[in-house]
Amino acid sequence: MSFSDSQANAVVVPIGDGISSVTLAGTVVKGDAVGFSGGWQRALATAGGVIQMRCVALEDGVSGQRVAVCFGECYIEGARFSGGTANGALYVAEGTSVGMYTQTIPSTATDATTRVGTMLTATKALVTPNYNVDSVVA
């Protein structure tokens, strides 16, 4: 089974500090990777439209709404992920998969390649929004 992000049914458990709130510039669902580009919205690794991940949505929300987010480490579990490889890297997805995650490192020139976490099991991830410095494929 390959990795899948259903973008639904996430249970997000913050670890320690880093909880805050932001005003959205787009729709998000609980567990989404969120970044800032003209406002807080779903992150994306796609060339020409990269929005680097800065936090994880702790609740669903729509544009103009203030929602809780986690800028620090958190677990994402529940039924959001399936088919993950334990100890495998986690990245923000590309293409039209805004706010989603992937275990395949984006490879198109100028895609964002920032590692944002690690799969602990097939269905549970440890997400660290600022795992390392921003990076892109050269």
**Distances from the Cα of 37 to the Cαs of 28, 34, 44, 101, in angstroms?**
14, 10, 10, 18
Residue 138's pLDDT band (cuts 50, 70, 90):
very low
Mean local confidence (pLDDT), 93-98: 89
E-assigned strand segments in the chain:
4-5, 10-14, 19-23, 33-36, 40-42, 53-57, 66-70, 74-78, 81-82, 89-92, 101-102, 115-119, 125-127
CB atoms within 10 A of CB 134: 13
Q: Share the mean pLDDT of the chain.
A: 91
Domain boundaries, the chain: 4-127
Give the model's pLDDT for residue 124: 98
Give the model's pLDDT for residue 42: 97
- Under DSSP, the state recorded for 71 is S
Give the model's pLDDT for residue 51: 92
pLDDT in tens, 36-78: 999 999 999 988 889 999 999 999 999 999 999 999 999 999 9
The residue type at 37: S
Reply yes or no on whether the pLDDT at 8 is more than 70: yes
The residue type at 122: A
**pTM for the whole thing?**
0.91
